[in-house]
Structure 1
Amino acid sequence: MAAMDDALHHQRCAHHELATALRDQAGRPGCRGAARAVALADHRSESVGESLSRVLLVQAGLGPDELQHEFPHSNGVDRVDFWWECGVVGEFDGQLKYRAQAMPGMSPDEVLWAEKQREDRLRRRGLVVVRWTWDELLHQPEVVVARIREALATARAAPRPS
């Protein structure tokens, strides 16, 4: 699915082309799994980690309401990886975004500070922010699922700011 997400994200193909290619292979081994992947494939996924996270979340019955949801603020927009309308934000944290080459002109310290400020803005909106890493995704997926379940329960029980 990560390969499909990447192809869609970089406009190497359209979703209907994936579905057509799958129909052309009907009955071959792996078609059922491929059909599930095509159904979940989404151009908004921006990394392998986000794609694998989405598979985990959907399998756990915790599929997000939206990918790459945007929250405008006075100086721009804060975009989040995963959004649940009850007020939960999910963020897959790969190390690449904290490296200087990921944000030209910014040191890793500046990138980290900007990310902290972004999360603070999200929390001031009354949102619950949940983060997870590659290590957790690959080696402790049950921890990621438990963290999301807890955040969703907390958000659903809390009064929503107007």
Structure 2
Amino acid sequence: MAAQSTDERVNKVTSKLFKKYTTLKSFAEADLAELENDIKSVGFYKNKAKSIKETARILVEEYNGTLPTTIEELVKLKGVGRKTANVIMANIYGIPSIIVDTHCKRLSNRLGLVNSNDATKIESDLRNIVEPQMYTVFSNLMVYHGRAVCRAIKPKCDVCAINDVCDYFKARK
């Protein structure tokens, strides 16, 4: 549900959602209009409700209620892209993963680590420069730094701890 929504909004919605729908089967069998209403405050709620319901159905019917364990299988699920698949790999299965969200994309370019807006290319490029065991830690740090300091609008370059290695900061001087 994160696409085009803040983490704060998604967390607020999901806390209520998981109290109402306590199993995959309950999501799969949910009334679509009711599910849409339950997540209405997040962007693109109609498409997201369809994806949630369909993915829950697939997981129940085809995967015995368990998440697939590979990126390739995860991205086959409706509404699951590489970012979400990598989040699952990192946070559920403990497999170090490069998670390219809006913050990672912005910071990777500003720091001069990559020169692309394509998330898949950025993920590939970062895999070439970040040690594999650090993939998840690196990704989490990029998210935290992007939220707190290197914001899309009005980045706090003057207080940034890594501005000495930042192409964006150097170009602004």
What TM-score, normalized to structure 1?
0.28
Which structure features the higher share of helix residues? 2
Larger radius of gyration: 2
Larger strand fraction of residues: 1
Q: Highest relative contact order (Cα 8 Å, sep 6+), 1 or 2? A: 1
